[in-house]
Structure formats: structure tokens, C-alpha cells
Amino acid sequence: VSPAIVIRNARVLTMGSGPAPRRGQAMRQLGVIDRADVLMSDGVIRAVTPTGSGLRIEAEPQEIDAAGRVLMPGFVDCHSHLCWGGSRVDEWERQLAGETYQQILAGGGGIMSTVRATRESSAGALACDLLGRIDQAVGTGTTTVEVKTGYGLSAEGELKMLEAIQKARQYAVADIAPTLLLGHAIDPAFARASDFVDETIARTLPSASAEATRLTGLSAEMIAIDVFCERSAWSVEQATRLLAAGGDLGHPTRVHADQFTSMGMIGRAVSLNARSVDHLEATTADDARLLGASETFGVILPCCGFHVDGRYANGRMLVDAGVKLALATNANPGSAPCPSMLMAIALGVRFGKLTVSEALVAATVNAAGVLGLRDRGFIAPGARADLILLREHDERAVAYEFGSNPVEMTIINGKLVSN
């Protein structure tokens, strides 16, 4: 039970009409109430009323005067790899000297070097590092964060990551949504790639699926199965097999698709009714149209372009094609060492060519939709009280500023967690 808080005189971005994902023109509507009071208690928003319209409050709430500053939903980071062991700083220096991300990956480094370091870490150490990274995310306005496994690449390794994520779920102030990224790479210890794929589908998937629901208490439909489809990772056929098997167990499915190469995974994901396709740097206009005509979300990850090679997903093309678009950090040690949604938004607007409003919708209500969370990402009575109060009176500051922090105060599940 958390005590009541009322925030008065705020410029409130309600994000409009409830949890339904937005596409097209609807991605520009922030549902602004220029001056409103927002009352919350026990983790839930109870009332949103224009200031001066006589909000009736029974208990004695904590009062915060926003003085016209912006109050908006907290960010939902719907794609992160925040749980990992080891460091890739040395590899990054090699990239600065000219090697590419893919060359390092093909040479047994990259994801595989983090897999080795993660296998050597204990669940407790992984959980501790994860909690520290989540604190950084919360400080920049993130209130819900998805965390993927994916650096285990075996039943044992993935279960240890799950254990670490579950420990963090118990202590983190942000809400954590776990995802099973069972197809992150092909383990080179297997003589043939197909042996590793068979092992993942026959053994790792069922045991990770059962353990994930048991450990977290979440139903399978709240835990996605994910795969990285790329030349040096899983092929379209291999990814399709894993996702189909995951779907048969009741999980939503997600794919890292078109990061470097357009391989035909978008069409396949749409026909599998995947929850999302993520990355999309190499997506063609035809595939954008296909995606826009489907229920599958697109997720762009512009921190990756900033850190790896200056290639960005064309957010403008995707929104114009009618895609339900979300935006996330992709925080990970290789392609995006950045837990800040503020940075992702700043880049999504500059290089993905989103409008500020589209980026804010993509970072809140649409991102919640990717995670199947219908109780957040908007401000309305009954929604979860996950809110951020900005230092600014103009929400465009979120995208305009970079390297600073326009978030003054973060409220998660009705509790003031930072200010």
C-alpha cells in the first residue's frame, strides 16, 4: 500500500485514449491537458482532472506543485540486454581502429565473448550488476524495462540468467519484463550449426519456458521468445523453427531482424504473427508496408547506430507505412552501452526522423504494447502510477536536450523513487 500523492498544476501528457497501440497520425497525439491535477494511491492513478475543477480527495495526500511543468508516463524500455557479465571495452577500441562489429562477431568475439564472461559469472553477481544498470535507467525516466537472457546459449546458461533477472525483479524499483532470447548466436562449440539449433529447440526452449514461468510467476504469454536473425547468427529457417516452437508453448515471439541484412525475416515474422520485429536498419520499403498492414510491432534501436556504424532505422518510413512503432535503448555491452531512453529518443528524432510526439508515443504506450502490458504508458484513472515529472514546461525538451537530464522526479507504482 502506498500513500496518496497528488501532483497539481501539471501540463499532463495523457497520451490520449488508453492502452491501444497507435499507428499513423495517432502517433502524433499526446492528449495534452494544459493544467491538470493527477491523484494516485496504492500504485494506481485515481483521477486526472483539469486544475481548478474541484478534485475531491478523501485521505491527506502528499502534494506536489508542478507549476506548469510536464507530467508524462514513465518510459517503457521494451528492448534491452541489461544482464551480462564481463566487458567489451577492448573490442570497442578495436572497432574504433577499424574492425567492424560483424568481423569481431565472426571471429568468435562480440556476443560470444559476453557469453563466455556471463557463463563465468554467478547469478548473484549478474543480478548485482543488472540492478546497478537499472538504477541508471530509472534516473533517466525509465519505469518499466524488458531484460533479455541470451548470453547463456545453453539450458544451464539461460537458466542462470533467468535466476539473475528474477533476483533483480525482487529488488529493482523499476518493473522488469523478462524475455527468453534463446537464439542470440550459434554456439561454435557445436560441430554443426544445425546441432545447436536442434538442441536449443528440443532442450533449452522447453526447460527455459517451464523455469521462467515457475520462477517469475508470470504466464507464458507475458514472456517472449526472441532470436537474432542475421548472416552470422540464426537463418530465417532456423529462426522460424524456434519461434514456431515458442509460439506452440504459448509465448509471444520477437525477432532481431534486418539489423545489417534484409533477409526476408519481416514477412516470415508477420506470417508467424510475431509480437515484434526489432532493429530494422536494413528494412526495405516493401517490408515496411507489409509490417504496416500487420499487427506486429516494429521496434527501432537508434543507440545501436550511434555506437556501431552510423546506420539508423528509417523511423519516418515505418510510421508513414502504418507500422505500430516503438523505440528502445537496446542497452547491451556490444552494440549499445546505453541504458537511457532519453538518448534513444534524441537519436530517434534526429536520425530516425520521427517527430517528437511520435518518439514519445513510441517510448511509452506503444512500447508497453510490445511487452503486452496494457496498464501503463498512458495517464488515466485505473492505469499504473508510473510517471515522470520534467524540469521543463515543454515536452520537446525530452528530445531536444542531450547529455543532460530533463527528468526531475520519477514515480513508480505510486512511489516517489527519485527526485
Grid coordinates of 407: 527528468
Q: Which of the ranges 1-9, 161-169, 325-333, 399-407 carries the binding residues for ligand NIG, by CB under 6 A?
A: 325-333
Ranges of H-type helices in 285-355: 285-292, 302-307, 315-320, 341-350
x-or-dash string of contact with ligand NIG, 105-124, rule CB under 6 A: -----xx--x----------
Q: Which of the ranges 27-35, 42-50, 200-208, 332-340 carries the binding residues for ligand NIG, by CB under 6 A?
A: 332-340
Core vs surface per residue 353-378: b (16+ CB within 10 A) or e = bbbbbbbbbbbbbbbbbbbebbebbb
Give the burial class of 68: count Cβ atoms within 10 A of its Cβ; 0-12 exposed, 13-18 middle, 19 or more buried.
Answer: middle
Residue 259 binding ligand NIG, by CB under 6 A: yes
Q: Output the smallest distance, CB 335 to ligand NIG, in A.
A: 4
Residue type, 144: T
From 69, 256, 376, 384, residue interacting with ligand NIG (rule: CB under 6 A): 256
From 333, 339, 369, 414, residue interacting with ligand NIG (rule: CB under 6 A): 333
Residue 196 binding ligand NIG, by CB under 6 A: no
Q: Is the distance from CB of 411 to CB of 40 less than 8 angstroms? A: yes
x-or-dash string of contact with ligand NIG, 291-320, rule CB under 6 A: -------------x----------------
From 74, 298, 334, 406, residue interacting with ligand NIG (rule: CB under 6 A): 334
Q: What is the enclosing helix (H) or strand (E) of 248?
A: helix 236-248
Region of residue 403 (left: phi > 0; alpha: psi -120 to 50; beta: else): left
- Percent of the chain that is helix, strand, coil (3-state, to 5): 35, 20, 40
Residue type, 172: A
Q: Output the smallest distance, CB 368 to ligand NIG, in A.
A: 20
From 240, 276, 332, 366, residue interacting with ligand NIG (rule: CB under 6 A): 332
Residues 60-99 that bind ligand NIG (CB under 6 A): 81
In the complex, the residues that contact ligand NIG under the rule CB under 6 A are 81, 110-111, 114, 228, 256, 259, 304, 330, 332-335
